[in-house]
Amino acid sequence: IHGVWPDKEGTLLQNCKPLPTYIHFADKMLNDLDKNWIQLKYPERFARKEQPLWLYQYLKHGSCCQKVYDQNTYFSLALRLKDRFDLLRTLQLHRIVPGSSYTFKEIFDAVKTVSQTDPDVKCTKGAQELTEIGI
């Protein structure tokens, strides 16, 4: 998971006021997030304690849907969407695996089978590697 971004008619919303208060996770939610929304930039002990990535994402994007989703609901939604769309499994079912080459259309069509809408597939220009899939 990279993030859950609310939008309004195609306009990404971010850093909405008032900024919500972030409450550090513990117990099951902490473990679920740590497993599914990995904070790769940080050492594990620091990441679990300080939760910098989740804090950042919630303040930047969760702030824009706080009237509808509180912090727990926002992160629960992210985890449910990950499970619902399971992009890694979807790509594997379409025989798209890391380390091989595929066309943009092959990846696009595979993801569309679960998203039912056109996904936003992004690749790097130089190395032509898949970097992000937005649904």
14 is catalytic: no
The one catalytic residue in 24, 57, 71, 116 is 57
The one catalytic residue in 61, 66, 92, 116 is 61
Beta strands in 9-84 (DSSP E): 11-12
* Locus of tokens 């890694």: 88
How many Å is the Cα radius of gyration of the chain?
Answer: 16
Residue 54 CB neighbour total at 10 angstroms: 26
- d(CA 122, CA 133) in angstroms, rounded, equals 6
Cis peptide before 43 (omega within 30 of 0): no
39 is catalytic: no
- d(CA 132, CA 121) in angstroms, rounded, equals 6
94 is catalytic: no
By annotation, the residues acting in catalysis are: 2, 57, 61
